[in-house]
Chain A
Amino acid sequence: MVPVPIKGAGTNADPNRVGPMPDTDANASLSEKLTALLAVPVVLFFRLFEIPFRAVQRVGGIKAMPYVFLLPNLAFFGVFVVLPLFINFAFSLSGGTNIFLSDRVYTGTEQYEFLFDCANYLDPQTCREDRFWKAIFNTATFVFIQVTCLVILSLVTALILNRKIRARGFFRAVFFFPVLLSPVVVALIWKWILLRDGILNAFLVSIGLDRILFFVSPEWAMFWAIFVSIWSHMGFYMLILLAGLQAIPPDLYEAAEMDGTSPERVFWKITLPLLWPNMLVVVVLALIKGVQIFDEVFVLTGGGPGTATQFIVQYIYTTGFASRVQNFGLASAASVVLGVVLFALTVAQLAATRRKDDV
């Protein structure tokens, strides 16, 4: 390993220097020497790494070096992602309330059979575990509406913010800002707005309308769960699409303009096809994120009214942790089902990315 050279250290002549030269060479030399002196411990620290890395390289050769660098991350990923995946699967084949796998009773596929025990899969009331199926249907409804609206709104916003409008940077920041907020903060802010005595109801009353109890109506609760989710995530997807829009060569638009092509045709024939790889990534990412929805809706509606906004992750959390009898086996089985769905979506994402690379 070669230590990174410290900029300005050991030299008076910096060809990249912009702006006025220092008053005297003596001053410059003194400050640069001081900087170099301060950098010595840093340089020494990094040189320490050279000893083991040289040894490893001598043993494994240069080809082994990428794996050496990957190893810490692989170990981290293995311990905190891959291993829990297998542990979770093992839990799903067990029953009882004991937390350690070694103390648990092997039940085979009983937990899965319990989850899938339904007379009619389209009617949760006929299912033994009705809440699991309600959560599945709620999640499907949420994902379908949320992802559709999210992608369309992100696209429209990206198209507008890609044009030369006034205060474009400001608006880009405004739309991106909610992405930076914690989901819990987002949900709490909207909850305060939507409560019986919240700002929105105060406004409705002030213009002579009746108060609406948003969290008591299943339709309103689902609407606001979707709305808040779109509001908080739209900026991220907008940014991906904006990057895609800016990567489209401008000469294509110039050619279209010279040909007198209508703006609609430009959008459908140039913008959308060239943006398609980004669109696919956005759709698949939004789908995965949508299926995993939990935190913000849990804080906003608590899953209510009834089970109207209870989604699959909340079902897993409630079954595994919030019940008096903490049913880790059933929760794990539901997690495995969710994992299978997410795996399918991830495969779709990989396929989409590959297609993007091919374009």
Chain B
Amino acid sequence: MTLRLKTVLTGTALAMSVLATSAMAQTELRMTWYNDGNEGEVMRGLLDGFEAANPDITVVLDIVPYAAILEGLPVQLAAGQGPDLARVTDLGGLNEYYLDLTPYVSNPDYWEANFGPFLEWLRPTGNDSAISGFMTQLTVTGPYVNRTLFEQAGVDMPGDGATWGDWAAAANEVAAALDIPIPMAWDRSGHRVAGPAISMGAMMFDADGNPALVDQGLMDMATMLYDWHQDGTMSTELWGSVSGSTYLGANEDFANAQVVMYMSGSWQIPQFASTIGDAFDWWAVPAPCGPVACTGMPGGAALVALAGTEHPEEVGMLMEYLASEESLAEFYGQTLFIPGHLGLAAGGVDFATDDPRARHALETFAGAVPGISPIAFDLQGYPNNRVMFNALISRLGEAIVGELTLEQAFERMTQDVEQQLAEQARDQ
């Protein structure tokens, strides 16, 4: 071998080892994310800031449809092929896969102080100290009305303390006066029904804390919804046109002024601010009342760290950066989400909107938080709440289209919950 060849080979080997070392030093974190509005863009901006401060860490933001979070992510996690972080809404249902960040964050007390009540939603039963993530948004369910239609029809909007019956009557009056096709629409979601059902007296759990979906309160609310579909207050097109627990929203119909009153939640605010804007007065109103309460359901999405990560320290650094008051003030402000950070909730967030409708909606939903029933909080914190929500919506849907009587639907709801929990219990 000539000297020149030896020199070339040695040089190449050195260059390759340097390249390999620098490639090894670069840590890549993957975050699975879904979007309701512009939060993906805002998150990307924050991640860019983090990457600039930590040039050896790259964060890939995988934006997926919401259905992939509900159906695909659990399978990925069970197979040990999940991302490092994910934005989830089944907060307690996935808690076995969460990473406890306590050893990786510098100030666990900050997390307890600012995210305490929500950390409990993420913790496995019996664990009262794990820190697994923070709420990217706190949500509250509640209705919106098209106030412009009320004004045009000359109908007064029911005031504080109005019941669901009062609102249904008023929405029907407006729809009849202006020939609006859908007086009232609800998201096809068990979570949406749960708040009003609790207002009607549903307890959701028995005295021992076991799930007990069907009781008089729930039957009263379900019967009311069933009757509204029969008398035309609600369109069967939304709840009756799909099967099982499939989610369907009426946000597009509401934005097209085809709906007088729409039961959904605070996460629609940024979307309505951009799609409706000032085309009409979309107005959030307090949760209507039942005989027991006037409550919506709390909820939201959390960004969680996942135990399958190979880089827990880097994940801890990233979570600490994202959960800082400064980052979250920017995030909530830009996305128009109700803060899931107690400090920011108390101090106020400077929301990036001049839209009075959006500001009013944010105030209405944030103002509803103190009035939320404790049962609603317990239900939200129950890891298997989606089993109950899915049984409720799928069987009620079958009753609405005439496949089951209401009595059969109630019986099947109870059986569905029992069967699914029994299947899950086989693992223990």
Contacts and interface: CB of A to CB of B under 8 A. Distances in A.
Given A99-B79, A324-B93, A324-B390, A304 B401 contact: yes
A185 B402 CA distance: 31
Interface residues of A, number: 38
B420 A307 contact: no
A322 B403 contact: no
B403 A306 contact: yes
Contacts of A309: 243
B242 A301 contact: yes
| Among A97, A128, A306: residue with most chain B CB under 10 A | A306
A8 interface: no
A128 B78 CA distance: 29
Contacts of B403: 306-308
Contact of A98 (B78, B93, B245, B421): B78
A278 to B, nearest CB: 37
Interface string B414-428: 010000110110110
B222 to A, nearest CB: 15
Interface in A303-318: 303-310, 314, 318
Contact of A325 (B79, B402, B424): B424
Given A130-B412, A325-B420, A304 B243 contact: yes
Interface in B234-266: 236-237, 240-246
B408 interface: yes
Nearest to B76: A99
A107 to B, nearest CB: 7
Nearest to B412: A130
Given A307-B398, A307-B403, A324 B241 contact: no
A322 B71 contact: yes
A125 B408 contact: yes
A240 to B, nearest CB: 34
Where chain A touches its partner, the secondary structure class is loop
Contacts of B90: 324
B400 to A, nearest CB: 8
Contacts of A218: 401
28 contacts: A96-B423, A97-B424, A98-B78, A98-B427, A99-B78, A99-B79, A100-B79, A105-B427, A125-B408, A130-B412, A196-B237, A215-B241, A218-B401, A301-B241, A301-B242, A302-B246, A304-B240, A304-B401, A305-B236, A305-B241, A306-B397, A306-B402, A307-B398, A318-B244, A321-B75, A322-B245, A324-B90, A325-B424
Interface of A: 95-100, 103, 105, 107, 125, 128, 130, 196, 213, 215-216, 218, 301-310, 314, 318, 321-327, 329-330
Given A105-B426, A306-B240, 13 more contacts: A96-B426, A98-B78, A103-B427, A196-B237, A215-B241, A216-B241, A216-B401, A305-B242, A310-B243, A321-B71, A321-B75, A324-B90, A324-B387
